[in-house]
Amino acid sequence: MTTRTHTNPTKNVLLLRTPAEEGLDSFEDAFNAHGHLPISVPVLETIFVNVEDLSSKIAAGPQNQSLSGVIVTTKRGLEAWSNAVKSIVSADPGLDPGDSGELDWSSVPFYAIGKATASAAAELRAALPSRLVPGDTRGQAQSGTAEQLAHFISSNISPRTDGSAVRKLLYLTGDKNRDTLPNILASAGVVLDVLQVYATHSSPSFPHDLKDAIENGECIDPSQTWGWVVFFAPSAAEQVLPALLEQFQFQRIDSLTELVGNTQRVRITVIGPTTASFMQDVLKLHVDVVTPKPTSKDLVSAISAFDRT
């Protein structure tokens, strides 16, 4: 392990997420530029489910299902869409979606949370230039949470061209979802065709990967704060907390006492109010910083502002 000279006791930033597979990682690059030491550790593994069901819906086309759009809240949902399209093309190499307007998904609104999901849609469109992939992505600039996206959809969705008052959206989900978005849209008269397309479970190598990450961090006095732990989602927080407690101490929300565990103190940053509420209400942990938007710029700015004070 390499020992580095440090001037800031909160220089380490443990990012509980999978780093970019190719090229520069925007989060790690942003923290490096601000003099922090970012360390990404994957906490979840994803499996795709109901691939045949999704393929069937894509092959049927939006018109035949009276769909006014698609809701995709994560990059994983778009990966599931990509897998399904590849399955369709593989089964019928001669398929030309341009032959039928009924199969045209490129003109159907895809409602996405945040820039990361919207960027995944653009990448999919570039990799699979077809009318089976998203061509009209909306909501990313106006919505960083499910609640914000639901209100955006309610104000943005167009009336049915056939005169029907019913507006229906295909909603691609994972295995862990809150009812905030469905409830808001239901009150606005929007019907959802819900299809789970992926599931997540904890990475079996996380405890080992975490230990390696800590050894690669700044070597500081145990009486000082090791750095930051950044939580991106409630599901990940709950699953990795036992392993984190073996390495770190967190402050309880209701007192100044530390949780039982290692002597190395860390601070908590979370992405968005949903994760913040879960950390405080369910896990009973004090949250030092809540970043309103899931971008590297907002995350670095929030942590840097806290460090300055």
Same-domain status, 62 and 189: yes
User: Of the residues 168, 185, 200, which one is the last residue of a structural domain?
Assistant: 200
The residues pairing with 71 across neighbouring beta strands, listed in sequence order, are 111, 171
User: Of the residues 143, 165, 200, which one is the last residue of a structural domain?
Assistant: 200
Please report, as a single letter, which amino acid is at residue 197.
V
Same-domain status, 108 and 240: no
Whether residue 216 lies inside any domain: the answer is yes
How far is it, in rounded angstroms, from Cα 24 to Cα 29? 7
Low-confidence ranges of the chain (pLDDT < 50): 1-9
Same-domain status, 108 and 241: no
Same-domain status, 134 and 218: no
Whether residue 84 lies inside any domain: the answer is yes
Whether residue 93 lies inside any domain: the answer is yes
Residue 36: burial class (beta carbons within 10 Å; 0-12, 13-18, 19+) = buried
**Structural domain harbouring 250:** 11-43+204-308
Same-domain status, 106 and 125: yes
Question: What pairing do the DSSP bridges indicate for beta strands 198-202 and 44-48?
Answer: antiparallel
SS3 178: coil
Whether residue 135 lies inside any domain: the answer is yes
Same-domain status, 246 and 156: no
Say what the pLDDT of residue 9 is.
43
Same-domain status, 149 and 277: no
Whether residue 243 lies inside any domain: the answer is yes
**CA–CA–CA angle 292, 296, 299 (5° rounding):** 45
38 and 28 Cβ atoms separated by less than 8 Å: yes
Enumerate the H helices of 188-264 as residue ranges. 206-215, 234-245
How far is it, in rounded angstroms, from Cα 82 to Cα 74? 13
- The secondary structure element, H or E, covering residue 279 is helix 272-281
How many Cβ atoms sit within 10 Å of the Cβ of residue 91?
Answer: 10
Same-domain status, 217 and 293: yes
Q: Which residue matches tokens 């899931």?
A: 294
Name residues whose C-beta falls within 8 Å of residue 197's C-beta, 6 or more positions apart in sequence: 48, 49, 50, 51, 54, 76, 77, 80, 81, 172, 173, 174
Same-domain status, 183 and 61: yes
Calculate the CA 283 to chain-centre distance. 20
How far is it, in rounded angstroms, from Cα 7 to Cα 104? 57
Whether residue 2 lies inside any domain: the answer is no
Task: Give the DSSP letter of residue 251.
Answer: B
Same-domain status, 266 and 182: no
Number of domains into which the chain is organized: 2
Whether residue 4 lies inside any domain: the answer is no
- The secondary structure element, H or E, covering residue 130 is none
Same-domain status, 82 and 208: no
> What CATH number is given to the structural domain containing 91?
3.40.50.10090
* β strands within the chain, DSSP E: 12-15, 37-40, 44-48, 67-72, 109-112, 136-138, 167-173, 190-196, 198-202, 225-231, 248-249, 264-271, 289-291
Say what the pLDDT of residue 200 is.
84
User: Of the residues 200, 232, 259, which one is the last residue of a structural domain?
Assistant: 200
| pTM, to two decimals | 0.68
Same-domain status, 212 and 158: no
Whether residue 3 lies inside any domain: the answer is no
Say what the pLDDT of residue 26 is.
87
How far is it, in rounded angstroms, from Cα 287 to Cα 264? 17
pLDDT digits (tens, 9 = 90+) for 233-269: 887 888 899 999 988 889 888 776 666 667 788 999 9
Say what the pLDDT of residue 1 is.
30
Say what the pLDDT of residue 176 is.
80
